Amino acid sequence: MVATDIIDMLENIGRSATPRLSPAVRLTGATAEARRASILKLIRGTVLPRRLEFNAQNGTILAIEVNSSRITDVYSASTGTLPDFETEPREALIEKLARLVSDLAATAPPIEVVSLKPDGPLEADDVGITFSEMQKACSEIVLPSEPRVSVVPDPVEDTKEQDSAEGAEPSVAAAFFDGAERFAMGRLLTSAEGATQQFDGVCADGQPLHPSDDLLTRFAQDLAGWDADNAGLLEQPQLIVMRPSGGKGAGVALVRDGRKTAAAVHDARKLGAVVNLWKSLRESV
């Protein structure tokens, strides 16, 4: 190609280029098979560590960490069960990931995806799930011919306040406290007013993260102020997740249900286990 050809090509690109108003890229395959192939192609083409966030029109979301064409973590998903890379066997991870990708592809187009920097540096032992493993597992899942208009259940009228007043409903926060035992380094359970119910692990009395009575009281006051500022906007139970800016170290997960508040101190990379427990509790309510 001679210099004049290159100049002409650049001029044509300049004339036809249009500004992109959003960082999102749209996947617009006509069939679910085509959309799934596009998602897998995007994963295969991601060499450097990235956080890929997929959003479908009906609210289905999937946020994954990808590096060297391998899925190394799942940040969030609105369908299925969130894989736990820390505890689950490889075969189970592959099956769950293939199902999450297939559920996303089965939604109506377009599917928007944004490529972001990951939460933190990858661990040296983050082998991840390979593209070939994903492709094989996805090929075994039959996709519907028609897109799923909605996979998000309709909201149910909230009767928690009435049930709580009658004492009929168990505490979601207390259930979270119990379930967090398998992944938490430390746990605590308090009443909404800050009266301590239970301590465990690194939060136990005499341990490095044991909170003082004054700290618990101020914490309860801060949460009460937050409720007042957001009256009518936020409902309970709530999950609040706090992670270190670098993505490594300890994180804190809080669950509030209006009567009790549970906190779990956990390795930041075990966010998947936190979300899995939260989703299982919400489904049982």
Closest residue by Cα to residue 203 from 225, 180, 223: 180
Domain ends where: 124, 139, 154? 139
Mean pLDDT taken over the chain: 79
- pLDDT the model gives residue 153: 39
Q: Do 87 and 184 fall within a single domain?
A: no
List, in order, residues 6 or more apart from 4 with CB less than 8 Å away: none
Dump strand ranges (E) for the chain: 25-27, 50-56, 61-67, 70-77, 111-116, 184-191, 196-201, 238-242, 250-256, 260-267
pLDDT tens per residue across span 222-242? 877 877 777 667 778 888 888
51: in domain: yes
> Which residue ranges of the chain lie beneath pLDDT 70?
1-23, 119-126, 146-169, 192-196, 231-232, 245-248, 285
The predicted structure's pLDDT at residue 35: 93
CATH code where residue 177 lies:
3.30.450.30
User: Is 194 found in the same domain as 238?
Assistant: yes
| Same domain membership, residue 44 and residue 123 | yes
pLDDT score recorded for residue 15: 64
Is 149 part of any domain? Answer: no
Does residue 6 belong to any structural domain of this protein?
Answer: no
- Say yes or no: 168 and 271 in one domain: yes
Closest by Cα among 190, 214, 192, 210 to 200: 210
CB count within 10 Å of CB 183 equals: 20
Cα gap 272→264, rounded to integer Å: 14
Question: Is there a domain that residue 272 lies in?
Answer: yes
Residue 42, domain member (yes or no): yes
Cis geometry, peptide bond prior to residue 118 (ω within 30 degrees of 0): no
Domain span at 116: 22-139
Where b means 16+ CB within 10 Å and e means fewer, 111-141 reads: bbbeeeebbbebeeebebbbbebbbebbeee
Answer yes or no: do 30 and 133 share one domain.
yes
Same domain as 280, residue 218: yes
Instruction: Provide the whole-model pTM.
Output: 0.50
Residues 187 and 262 in one domain: yes
Q: Give SS3 for 5.
A: helix
122 and 177 housed in the same domain: no
Identity at 64, one-letter amino acid code: I
Residue 231 sits in the same domain as residue 263: yes
Please state, in angstroms and as integers, the Cα–Cα distance from residue 181 to each residue in 150, 185, 227, 262, 265, following that order: 34, 8, 28, 12, 10
Q: Encode pLDDT of 249-265 as tens digits.
A: 788 889 988 888 899 99
Residue 17 lies inside a defined structural domain of this protein: no
Q: Tokens for 207, please give them.
A: 């341990």
Q: What is the pLDDT of residue 118?
A: 78
* 116 and 179 fall within a common domain: no
Question: Is 70 among the domain residues?
Answer: yes
Domain count, the chain: 2
Residue 78 placed within a domain: yes
Please give the pLDDT value at position 231: 66
Same domain, 133 and 35: yes
- Tell me, what amino acid is at 159? T
What pLDDT, on the 0 to 100 scale, is given for residue 275?
82
Question: Residue 211: which residues within 8 A CB-CB, separation 6 or more?
Answer: 188, 203, 219
User: pLDDT at position 19, please?
Assistant: 53
